[in-house]
Structure 1
Amino acid sequence: MAVKEEERTLPLLPLRGLIVFPTMVLHLDVGRERSVRALEKAMVDDHNLILLATQKEVHIEEPTPEDIYQIGTVAKVRQMLKLPNGTIRVLVEGLKRARIEEFVGDDECYIVRYLELEGEDEGGQDIKALMRAVLDHFEQYLRLSKKLSPEIYSVVVDIEEPGRLADVITSHLPLKIADKQTILEETNIQARLEKLLSIIHNEKEVLELEKKISSRVKKQMEKTQKEYYLREQMKAIQKELGEKEGRTGEVEELREKLAELKADDSVKEKIEKEIDRLEKIPTNSAEGGVVRNYIDWLLDLPWQKETVDDLSLDKAERILDEDHYGLEKVKERVLEYLAVQQMVKKLKGPILCLAGPPGVGKTSLARSIARALNRNFVRISLGGVRDEAEIRGHRRTYVGAMPGRIIQGMKQAGSSNPVFLLDEIDKMSMDFRGDPSAALLEVLDPNQNHTFSDHYIEIPFDLSKVMFITTANAIHNIPRPLLDRMEVLYISGYTEIEKEEIAKKYLLPKQLEEHGLSKEQLQIQSGAVLKLIRNYTREAGVRNLERAIGTLCRKAAKHIVAGEKKKVVVTARNIESYLGPEKFRYGRAEETDQVGVVTGLAWTEAGGDTLSVEVTLFPGKGKLTLTGQLGDVMKESAQAAFSFIRSRAEELGIDPEFHEKNDIHIHIPEGAIPKDGPSAGITMATALVSALTGIPVSRDVAMTGEITLRGRVLPIGGLKEKSLSAHRAGIKHVICPQDNEKDLQDIPKSVRKDLKFTTVSHMDEVLKLALVRDPYAGKKS
């Protein structure tokens, strides 16, 4: 039993995470204000005594009496040293157990009344047996434990007092504070040894179990670790030798790329599977190269990599005006797209089709749109594409398989929202390998292309953010289902005024820069530019005009380098000395009114053009001859015109038997050029009437329109292109079908100002306007 001694008072020093046993000597770092004052109070006393008791919870900064264990240790302060950081390091020696009876003061620090506790040493065989058992288990524990030094056993084996033995061993064991406090609170020495024995036994069993688990895991890990170490050694050796790291290094590099890839989880899982597959394929296997190529394609595609659109309307308008003159409708459409993007933040990419003759700037306009939107630009040419695999890619089972041009273009673009130009979409064809235009249906359908499937990639790729732009010279060659998915913007061609502005603002500065000339070294006057347009080029676009300016630049460079001239000025008078004789006669209109000759207007893939229709009569049996590479449609138009005139012969003052007495020859010059289309009916009819009546046709008139057997004038297409060709040819008056009146607003104002347009609904109106005299007047008189 514990023996009570007289009650005394001492300052209390609460400890955190630490228990001091009697006979223990150790250092403590004291930093809390209350604890420092308790130490100072203890040092005032002659005996330098202080009571050490442990807190129940370590994290409490200012413990209350309820937060401190009731049993502690009376200790003597042997030494005290102030450290630079403000804390105090003290050396204490535990003396005796003590129980806190009462807290008697807590102004500056806790002062407690305590009662010293003394354990009775009952002696006897039981205590000796317990001491041996404790020492034996502790020795076994030390063998198993890696946390304690084996030398500790030599310290404790010589201790003869059973109570001290229990305290010293407990102080060395890495136990919880609660377990150590249990030993501290036990005053009965036999019970204390029994509790300690139980604790050591449990700890020993835990260590044995840990050792078994560790041994089992070690066996499982042995093979993996061995392989890992061997691989690391091999990599280190290869690195030192400067050799490639083989398949292992290749796989690691691919995994690093995969970690940086922005893509959906499903895409990453697919790539991860392929990388795992590649890792298992032998290095010398041909299949490894195929799998590696496939993984590279998947890693290089911009699955979720986007560029940020620049939605500034002012900047876009400025860029489009910088690069192109005119083309108001196309520019307006791009600005509309930007405006809607600002409103809704996300819009499916539009599919624009820029249709028009060569050289009008379709491809360069697409580049300007990309620059205005601040998007990446990619172009693929579809001219001559016959194989469906060009669009959808090849199956990976084929040797040399690769993705289609769409996926190749997306890789080249490097972002998922580029401006994608599909050039010459009307030049595609089909053969036994499939129809590529049918494969394009999915690409150019905003409702389907968010899951575009390429045969090689096999993973759906999102094309919905792409702005597709297609170009075509003629839309009638594009299959209807494909054309239905596109918004067609027509670029008909340029007027002379527009060409002159383009030459001055765009073509000449560009050619000067390309040929290393300055504005001072070569000057081309306005008259020379106009002569270039009229007499050296005849086109809807400006490609030949740019070539002609390039020729002038080369001639000027030669003169300057040779030292013949320091400055070259090209005028309308001296331009022939640089470019040679004029290639075209300005104005295709006839110089005099002629019988049987009518100027017609035709649409071609290079823009509009003028055609002279000639009719001549000679004695014969009514044979109708058509020459000039005419297509079936134009031949039928000639037959219809011939039949109409036969039905109206008497009213027109023509011999009703003319078709039995004369052979008729209708010829359209430039015979080497194939001509076809429903727009020359009224032209041939007018020429026939002029030839049969002898009434000349006005030289200033040109016409276009189809005719029926009853003389009705049917609408035609391409009126804008035809009007531009009439304007270029110096025509003053254009006759066109009444149903085409709505198309007149598309014709540039500068052309409408110079041309007189008359719409007609019947052939009688055409004859009265085109012939210098009314053919019906003679009959009536």
Structure 2
Amino acid sequence: MAVKEEEHTLPLLPLRGEIVFPHMVLHLDVGREKSIQALENSMVDDHLIFLASQKDAQVEEPSSDDIYSVGTIAKVRQMLKLPNGTIRVLVEGLKRARILSFIDTEEYYQVRVVELRDIERNDLNTEALVRSVLDHFEQYLRLSKKISPETYSVVADIEEPGRLADVITSHLPLKVADKQSILEIADIQLRLEKLLSIINNEKEVLELERKITSRVKKQMEKTQKEYYLREQMKAIQRELGEKEGRAGEVEELREQLAKLQAPPEVKEKVEKEIDRLEKIPTTSAEGGVIRTYIEWLLELPWQKQTEDDLSLEKAEKVLDEDHYGMEKAKERILEYLAVQKMVKRLKGPILCLVGPPGVGKTSLARSIARALNRKFVRISLGGVRDEAEIRGHRRTYVGAMPGRIIQGMKTAGTSNPVFLLDEIDKMSMDFRGDPASALLEVLDPNQNSTFSDHYIEIPFDLSKVMFITTANAVHNIPRPLLDRMEVLYISGYTELEKERIAKDYLLPKQLKEHGLTPENMQVHSDALLKLIRNYTREAGVRNLERTIGTLCRKAAKQIVAGKKKKVVISTRNLPKYMGPEKFRYGRAEETDQVGVATGLAWTEAGGDTLSIEVAILPGKGKLTLTGKLGDVMKESAQAAFSYIRSRAKELNIDPEFHEKNDIHIHVPEGAIPKDGPSAGITMATALVSALTGIPVSRHVAMTGEITLRGRVLPIGGLKEKSLSAHRAGITHVLFPKDNEKDLEEIPKSVRKDMTFTAVSHLDEVLQLALVRNPYESNSSDV
């Protein structure tokens, strides 16, 4: 007899095109706002929810009339929010239930339901129905290709007849209405009878489908004829030795693999990828992706390398032919060759050539490759901010490709090229990663034998590569990266060196490029010197080469026009070809000046002279600094000012000068930013000169930082600063005593023309820089 069933008030989740039976576990994707609200409400209480299907799946906002009255009480096991806003939920059906009434339909559907208990009859009729259903289901599985044959063994183990009917119904590809009809039957015998009827009907449909398919196969349609003829054509082409389609591709790739010089793991990987390609249909887009990947693996120089030319004489000759000077860099290359000759195998060094633009860093790397008889490859890292540029993209991305390192190795075609990483100090980083960190593995001799590119996925040996990097300034290179490299400084050229380079290298090169010869164009040495002094201002020779090119163009025009047969450039007619002088020749002051001192500064383009002017004005001790100075230079000025105040009496300066006067310190060329810790003693000298009225010697330039006790601290870039002083016609340079070791880097020709004095205290600077000793003079203008 029926007993009173239990009632529940539950949130309702309407299903579209889906029926959930008791004991069934299913994933559902929920996207409608009401449905999501119903789910969230069920999670607050006991995780129970009522699942009922819509009569019409197309209805977006169903009413109570659009929902079947019988459904399943289910438990929410899991909820997962997807990126597109929908919720994936795992539900387990518990019991059948019927809707008694809709309580709320505003925010979400809430219904009052009553459970439907299964009506069981444990008699022979039920047993017979169960066996019949299983038998017919097995026959159905033999005919159907939509359900796995293993399903039968799962279903046959179910002992409860009611659950058996539910599980079989859930596996059948039925319409929602048919499944709903099974769900609504509480009597198990009636449910089995209904299911048996449905299975028999489905079996008949499948039998009919098979007969139709068999009939269609017997007909020779036009498309089948074309396919048959194409296959015949392929067979004929194979007999003739011609290659066509995917088969031809695969055969060609296998031939390349047989010739490939690579480790066994690489060959094994390529073989697997070729097998995959062979099985993929010609029309599949994935085939193109796999083909590209195989080609990359086949074209990389895994074990192919050139033999080094270890002749020191030849290397020295090549380096001298291509470059003038650069003794340290050349010496390092010859050392590498000597060691290579001794041990036969040496890990490629990581050299970092640091110097101003135009001094020949990139061309030196090319000359090294020529001297070693190695392939040369260059990549520019300026502006690179994506880690994938170094390591490549994962193959899962559309348009994936290897990084620049692997691309460079493919371009080189050998595993031991000279690999130039240009402008390594100009890399940056953003949300796409830090390429400088990705380079750590590339430039570490202990790690780069197994360099991993995201696209290639197989470790590639970079240990035989000779990496050379270039940079304009060391301080812009990340410290961990700099730690892995050997730094070689290539500083700017002197005027004499530039003149020699222009005469021996640049002028012959430009004459050849412009179709000229020494017979129809000649440039005097003094004209070249004037060109260097008054038409270019740089540490290197790049602009000088361009300027010589301009001269050659103008000469070529005159010769072609028939105005002249031979063009001779001298200092007198140089302005006629080049126009007015672009730069004032940086000569020293013509007279000794009061309150003006010449300092020396380092820039990325080499060195430069820096005039510092001081004016004493009536006022109340205000210190004014102008000339677009950075914080470091402002602090140097303050330190110099404080030191002079503390020593005013000894310097024969009015101790109360700061209460009666304003002091203005100016560094000309205010549009150019200036900063750095090397102008301290220059500012102090200019201040003392202005306050004592003693002129500063026009022949003296100085560099060094000052402390409040008057000590002179060391600086950097002494060579570049000395070259700028030499260029400006300075004959005496004062520099910190701690920088005496750097004197060796200054060319002998410069040291011969100039006097270098090491100083450790400002007292020494003042005695050398001022025309009279301020400690003995009593002539104060303040």
TM surpasses 0.5: yes
Answer whether contact 1:381 1:422 (CA < 8 A) is retained: yes
In structure 2, give the amino acid aligned to 1:534.
R
Provide the secondary structure at the position in 2 that maps to 1:652. coil
Partner of 2:181: none
Q: How does 1:249-268 map to 2 (within 5 A)?
A: 249-268=248-267
Matched, 1:584 2:613: no
- Name the amino acid aligned to 1:417: N
Cα offsets for 1:405-442 (capped at 9, x unmatched): 10010000000000000000000111111111111111
Cα pair 2:356 2:606 within 8 Å, conserved: yes
* CA deviation vs aligned residue, 1:349-398 (integer Å, no higher than 9, x gap): 00011100001000000000000000000000000011111111111111
State the alpha-carbon separation in 1 of the partners of residues 627 and 389 from structure 2. Answer: 39
* Larger Rg belongs to: 1
Aligned to 1:315: 314
Asked if the contact 1:278/1:291 (under 8 Å) is kept, the reply is yes
Letter in 2 for 1:653: N
For residues 231 and 303 of structure 1, the distance between their equivalents in structure 2, rounded to whole angstroms, comes to: 40
Helix, strand or coil at the partner of 1:397: coil
**In structure 2, how many angstroms separate the alpha carbons of the residues matched to 1:284 and 1:232?**
16
Tell me the secondary structure at the aligned position of residue 778 of structure 1.
Answer: coil
Asked whether 1:488 is paired with 2:487, we answer yes
Aligned to 1:88: none
Q: Which amino acid aligns with 2:756?
A: F
2:750 aligned with 1:775, yes or no? no
Q: Distance in 1 between matches of 2:631 and 2:655?
A: 27
Tell me which amino acid in the other structure corresponds to 1:235. K
**TM-score after normalising by structure 2:** 0.69
Aligned match of 1:331? 330
- For residues 486-543 of structure 1, the C-alpha deviation after alignment (integer angstroms, 9 at most, x for no partner) is 1111011111111111011100010001000111111001111111111111111111
Q: 1:431 is matched with which residue?
A: 430
**1:290: which partner in 2?**
289
Which residue does the alignment assign to 1:83?
none
1:717 partner letter: G
Cα deviations across residues 447-503 of structure 1 (Å, max 9, x unaligned)? 000000011111000000000000000011001111111111101111111111101
Q: Which secondary structure does the structure 2 equivalent of 1:537 belong to?
A: coil
For 1:653, the equivalent position in structure 2 comes to: 652
Q: Show the 5 A alignment for 1:528-547.
A: 528-547=527-546
The equivalent residue for 2:361 is 362
For residues 71-111 of structure 1, the C-alpha deviation after alignment (integer angstroms, 9 at most, x for no partner) is xxxxxxxxxxxxxxxxxxxxxxxxxxxxxxxxxxxxxxxxx
1:615 aligns with 2:614: yes
> AA paired with 2:586?
G
Quick one: distance in 2 between partners of 1:268 and 1:246?
A: 23
Q: Tell me, yes or no, if the aligned pair for 2:734 and 2:765 is still in contact at 8 Å.
A: yes
1:41-75 CA-partner distances (Å, limit 9, x unpaired): xxxxxxxxxxxxxxxxxxxxxxxxxxxxxxxxxxx
Kindly report which structure 2 residues correspond to 1:361-400, keeping only aligned pairs within 5 A, or say none. Answer: 361-400=360-399
- Alignment partners' CA distance in 2, 1:459 and 1:750: 54
Shift of 1:233: 4.9
Residues 724-763 of structure 1 mapped to structure 2, 5 A cutoff: 724-763=723-762
Give the TM-score taking structure 1 as reference length: 0.69
Task: Map residues 669-684 of structure 1 onto 2, 5 A cutoff.
Answer: 669-684=668-683
3-state secondary structure, aligned to 1:306:
coil
The runs of 5 or more residues in structure 2 that have no matched partner are: 1-227
Q: Is the 8 A contact 1:620 1:661 kept in 2?
A: yes
CA RMSD in angstroms comes to 1.8
Q: 1:446 is matched with which residue?
A: 445
Structure 1 Cα separation of the partners of residues 659 and 244 of structure 2: 95
Task: Write the distance in 1 (CA, Å) between the matches of 2:244 and 2:650.
Answer: 97
Deviation at 1:652, TM superposition (A): 0.8
Once the two structures are superposed, residues 179-202 of structure 1 have per-residue CA deviations (whole angstroms, 9 ceiling, x without a partner) of xxxxxxxxxxxxxxxxxxxxxxxx
Residue matched to 1:405: 404
Alpha-carbon separation, structure 2, partners of 1:604 and 1:303 = 43
- Give, in angstroms, the shift of residue 236 of structure 1: 5.0
Against the structure 1 CA distance between its residues 528 and 684, is the aligned structure 2 distance closer, same or farther, given a 3 Å change threshold?
Answer: same
Distance 1:251 1:594, change over 3 A: same
Counterpart position of 1:345 = 344
- The answer to whether 1:718 aligns with 2:728 is no
Give the whole-Å Cα distance in 2 for the aligned partners of 1:473 and 1:251.
49
Deviation per residue, 1:255-310 (Å, 9 max, x gap)? 11111000000010011111111111111111111111111111110000000100
Paired residue secondary structure (1:453): coil
Partner SS state of residue 531, structure 1: helix
Q: Distance in 1 between matches of 2:235 and 2:521?
A: 66
Farther off after superposition, 465-474 or 279-288? 279-288
Distance of 2:490 and 2:444 partners within structure 1: 23
Question: Is residue 2:641 matched to residue 1:639?
Answer: no
State the alpha-carbon separation in 1 of the partners of residues 230 and 475 from structure 2: 65
CA contact (8 A) 1:760 1:766 kept: yes
CA distance in 1, matches of 2:240, 2:506: 58
Structure 2 SS opposite 1:777 = coil
Determine helix, strand or coil for the equivalent of 2:709.
coil
CA contact (8 A) 2:618 2:660 kept: yes
8 Å CA contact 1:588, 1:610 repeated in 2: no
| Equivalence for 1:599 | 598
Contact 1:587–1:731 under 8 Å retained in 2: no
How many aligned residue pairs are there?
A: 553
The answer as to whether partners of 2:692 and 2:779 remain within 8 angstroms in 1 is: no
Deviation at 1:240, TM superposition (A): 10
Distance 1:518 1:505 in 2: 14
CA distance in 1, matches of 2:712, 2:268: 66
- Cα distance in 1 for partners of 2:538, 2:381 equals 24
Conservation of the 8 A alpha-carbon contact between 2:693 and 2:779? no
CA distance in 2, matches of 1:602, 1:268: 58
How far did residue 596 of structure 1 move?
0.8
- For residue 628 of structure 1, report the CA deviation from its aligned partner: 1.1
Check if 1:666 corresponds to 2:679: no
Mapped to 2, the partners of 1:421 and 1:231 lie a distance apart of 52
1:742-773 per-position Cα deviation (integer Å, ceiling 9, x unaligned): 10011000000011000000000000100111
Q: What is the alpha-carbon distance in structure 1 between the residues aligned to residue 307 and residue 693 of structure 2? A: 70
- Give how far 1:586 is off: 2.1
> Identity of paired residues, percent?
85
Whether the aligned pair in 2 keeps the contact of 1:651 and 1:779 (CA below 8 Å) is no
Moved more, 661-670 or 358-367: 661-670
Amino acid at match of 2:714: P
Counterparts of 1:503-542 in structure 2 under 5 Å?
Answer: 503-542=502-541
